[in-house]
Amino acid sequence: MPQQPDSATPTRLCKINASRIGHKIRVAGRVLSYDAESGHIVLLDGDCAVLVDASLCLNVRSSTWVRERLSKIIAICYVEGSPVRLSCGRGTL
C-alpha cells in the first residue's frame, strides 16, 4: 500500500502559536489582502490574521477570485515561525 500523506489538523487562526510550528494544519478564513508579486495572502478570521505564502499554489488564472476581498478560502500548510514580529493596532503578531 502506498504511503499516506500526513493529515492536517483543523485549527482556528487565533489558536496558531509557537507550539504549532512544524505541524501541518488546515485553516479557513477570508482573504483580507493578496500581493500578486509575492504570492502572499493575509487570511482573516474574526480578530485574528495570518500571512500565507501561496506563491507555489496560485497561477495566473487564480488572480480573479483571490483578488476578491473577503472571499473564503481553506489553506492546508505547515506552520513556520518568523524572526520578524509584526505590530498592529491591537498588539504584536
pLDDT score at 38: 86
Average pLDDT estimate for 28-34: 91
Average pLDDT estimate for 31-57: 88
Query: What residues contact residue 55 under an 8 Å CB cut-off, 6+ apart?
Result: 38, 39, 40
Cα R_g (the chain), whole angstroms = 14
Residue ranges and CATH numbers for the domains of the chain are 9-81 (2.40.50.140)
Render pLDDT for 46-66 as a digit per residue (tens, 0 to 9): 888 889 998 888 776 666 777
pLDDT score at 88: 59
Distance (Å, whole) CA 30 – CA 77 = 16
Q: Are 67 and 32 in contact (CB under 8 A)?
A: no
Q: Are 50 and 77 in contact (CB under 8 A)?
A: no
